[in-house]
Amino acid sequence: MLPRYREWNDNTAYLELHSNHTAWSLDNEYATDDDWYNVVESTIELLAEVIGTPVYLLGRGGRHVCIEDTVRNRLNYWTWRRYALLYEQDAINEYNSIPCDE
């Protein structure tokens, strides 16, 4: 059984690639929240392009990384999940390496 996520105000079930506490891995005193949002936005766009399906950040704070529950996505779930985890780590590394502006 593949993990599903359902928004509290939506009856649609999504396939959940992960619900990691990604922000717990952020460690950069020079970077801002806006920096993180920019990294996340570009990472999600890239992930969606690579796997060929829209990616949704659902739940409070967008912690649940989800895709539509389709036959194609169910068949490729474990591959899409590996990509999501790799891109998550890339985003963490990118944020944590943002240099001081001084």
pLDDT in tens, the chain (102 residues): 999 999 888 788 999 999 999 999 999 999 999 999 999 999 999 999 999 999 999 998 899 999 999 999 999 999 999 999 999 999 999 999 999 875
Whole-number Cα distances in Å, 71 to 16, 23, 30, 102: 14, 31, 43, 50
As beta bridge partners, residue 6 has 13
The predicted structure's pLDDT at residue 11: 82
